[in-house]
Amino acid sequence: MASMEAPPQAAAQDRDYKLMKEAVCEAYRAVDRGDGGPFGAVIVRDDAVLVSCHNLVRKNTDPSAHAEVTAIRQACRRLGKVDLSDCEIFASCEPCPMCIALIRASKIKKVVYGAKAEAAVAAGFDASIPEAFVEYYRKSGIEIRQVQGEAARIADKVFEKPWEIPGEAMQRRRTGGGWFEKAKGMVIRCLWN
C-alpha cells in the first residue's frame, strides 16, 4: 500500500508557504497599525511558531526595531536565554546587515526570507545590502535562502504599491537618479487571516 504523505520537497514548500504567509501578514500588520514599514518575521523552534512580530520602528521611535530584531528580542525573553541555536527565522524580506549581525549573535541556524532587498529598495525603503556584506553572509555559517514559488510571490507583493503610514506615507518618483519620498499612498490589509 502506497503512502499518502507528500514528497519531502512538497512538504518543505508547504511549510515555507505557511511560515512565510505569517511573516507577510505581520508585514501588513505593521503598516495597518502605523507601527513601521512593511516587514514581518517569525521565529520557529521545533517546527512550532515561537514568536511572530513586525517592524516597530515608528511605534517605538527606534531605528533598530526591525521585524527580525523585535522577533529575536521577544524569543530571547520568552525562552529566558540569548542562544537561539535551536531556532529558525522566517522574514518577509531579505534581512539587512544589522539584522544578520543580530541573527548571528543569537546563533539562529537558518534564515528563510521572502522578497529580495531590491524589492524594498524599489518601493522606496532604505534596505540596500552593500556588496561587502554579501560575502559576509556567505561566510557567516548561517543557512540563508530565499523561498520559492507562491511563498516568494506573496512576499514580493508587499512592495508592489506605495504604503500609507499614518501621518507619513510614501510614493515613489524617479528624480535625477534617486528616489523621492512623498506623503501619499494606501494601506493594504492581510487577506490570509
CA 131 to chain centre: 20
Catalytic-role residue among 68, 88, 94, 164: 68
Report the distance separating Cα 190 and Cα 193, nearest Å: 7
Per DSSP, 191 falls in state: S
- Cα distances from 49 to residues 17, 18, 28, 127, 145, in angstroms, run 14, 11, 18, 26, 19
Mark whether 68 is an active-site residue: yes
Report the distance separating Cα 24 and Cα 21, nearest Å: 5
Active site residues: 68
